[in-house]
Structure 1
Amino acid sequence: MKKETQIVSLGRDKKWTKGVVNPPVFRASTMLFETMEEMRFASKNKTNGEMFYGRRGGPTHFAFQAAIAELEGGVGTALYPSGSAAISGCLLSFLKAGDHLLMVDNAYEPTRALCDGLLAGFGVETTYYDPLIGAGIKDLIQENTKVLFLESPGSVTMEIQDVPTLSQIAHDHNMIVMLDNTWASPINSRPFEMGVDISIQAATKYIVGHSDVMMGTATSNEKHWEQLRENSYLMGQCTSPDDVYLASRGLRTLSVRMNQHEKNALKVANWLATRPEVDHLRHPAFETCPGHEFFKRDFSASNGLFSFVLKEGNVKSVTALVENMHHFKMGFSWGGYESLILPVFGIEKLRTVTNWDSKKPLVRVHIGLENVDDLIADLEAGFERFNAAL
């Protein structure tokens, strides 16, 4: 099946939907058993879709998990109350004191904070690496290196990684490969075909699609699924069936929304490329984005999230650009139907092994589902304010 058909069809087995179109909200903490045999059967099959205890999930969860696992190409999906919880749940499920982690230098800021804080306190050493390091990653591998963590494209600066090469080298050294795959969503890349072991989604973003639910997913291959599932369960990771229902409903329109986000964003990006104030675009579909060649090879489409770098500017002028917008609003997320704009200051302080020219401000935008002409007019007025404040 094509992805558009899969999205509509997956997770709608009658054992979960009870014959209705959408899997209903099934709220439960305690499941009741009439006989010891029933309880023994549920206990024996508690990880195989049998109702056992609320934290293990119910039909609402099982339907959504099955859909995400199949879309991403894995064998099982664990659910978490946020994307950050999914990242920490995955890392804590496979790392212990004395282990070494290779973390991409342009990772999501809370991921870096997790490494430098909680993981360091637990005795896990982290080495950051250039997202464009490619085969050079082998020089950073130690005897105790257990996990290679990827984020492609990277947070804010949008570098695309050579995932197949990095995965192959990691597997040659018996390492686990984890990928924050949120930008691609479950439909615009095939992480397991590229060698990834665990693919992580902040479902808060494009899966939910309406900026009203926090959720994370981690989909694993067969080799690592049992350990991920059980350790996440032991850490108490679970999600509300009401939130899962909203994520499941959002999933059904994912391909339609992604197509429109991509179409709108490409129009806005092409317009930005003509602006004299813009140094270059950090949009994976454009040659000016580092790693663009890997985007062309490994992704089937882009979306609404990208950044652009200004030739010059300061806090005053960039503030003038982003304030008083009519359609773009500032906010620390993306993936919803609305357009967002976010100036990012101090990138150089969030990089360990890669450099960033702090004299050239970066602005990240998420292009929503509004009329593109309205969005461009909003940005044009913003540039007028920007130039007046220089």
Structure 2
Amino acid sequence: MDDIAILLVDDDPDFLEMSRILLEEQGFRDFTLARSSEEVLVLLKTRSFDVIVADYELPPGTNSIILLKTLKAQGNETPFIIFTGKGREEVAIEALNSGAAYYLQKGTQVELQFAELRNMILQLAEKKRAKETVERQEIELRLKNEELESFCYSISHDLRAPLRVIDGYCGVIHNIGGKGLDPNVQKYLTGIRAASVKMNTMIESLLKFSRAGRLALDCQEVDLSKMVWEFTTDLREQQPGRDVTIDIDEGMVVYGDRTLISMAVQNLVDNSWKFTGKTSQAQIKARMTSDAGQKIFSVSDNGAGFDAAQAENLFRPFTRFHTESEFPGTGIGVATVQRIIERHGGRIWAESQVGKGATFSFTLPDCRNRAAGAASHDREPK
């Protein structure tokens, strides 16, 4: 308990000293004494405390509830205990409603009350330390993620140049040699160029994955019904031979970042289109439901599906449940969708059975309700 910093506040110097002695007997060592609100405000500018224990009446003509409200207004969340001889119920209610952690009345059973005060201090200090640890870990994690995303972006961006050189040299060799090239050489060149194209596609996916976590959110109205209709129309034009039934709910409007949401929805629609490629009477549905006032958007199909037990692994970058020969892809699209949805404060999940299709659902909290500037600390590198 040596490291628990306690600020004792009381206008009675004798009671202050007695409090210090009794708490010291309880095992505490780090005390700071103050006799007025002004002293407290000055002290808090120079150091922090784990707990503040204050009498109700404080000079000049003020009280600890007013002090507590002042600290709250300044953003100071130090746990506050009011330890006083005032036993009025209305004072206790006002204190607790103002944010006091505890209201303890002074009395004649001094040792018992200071033992109770000791337990209060220990509980509050432990909660404060735990909260600070979590906040520190969150900051460290955010910084590590930012560093990793920046590294990912830089590496992905830099890898594209040598790939273009490889593809370019293969093209030059093919043009120079023409039909005179040995068939095996032509085969190898074709393989190299195909691998370059695939690698470039993977890098492009990685760049999108990185950007999904870095772009600041631009909150606006997004018509998901129109968005899905446009994506499926483009897919029909690209593959006019496909017979796919598209069923889209009308009026699916949300608020979020149009660019990022478009990227997420297109990924889900493209996946449904791709994984129904070997399904007769293919069907793709886009639905909007509501649960406890929360909007849930889903894209479902009757395609290849996957083992539901592996659903969590699906959201890991480069994880695939099908071979390249069955269904081509990079295995990063769904991970990108998850990052976008979580960027908006939502969550995503998948339900599926092998051979019976899949449903991807996500919640999307209204970005207008988010605090101004929330999630906007990251910026796209110039």
TM range (shorter): under 0.3
> Relative contact order (alpha carbons < 8 A, sep ≥ 6): 1 or 2 greater?
1
TM-score, structure 1 normalization: 0.24
- Larger radius of gyration, structure 1 or 2? 2
Structure with more helix by fraction: 2
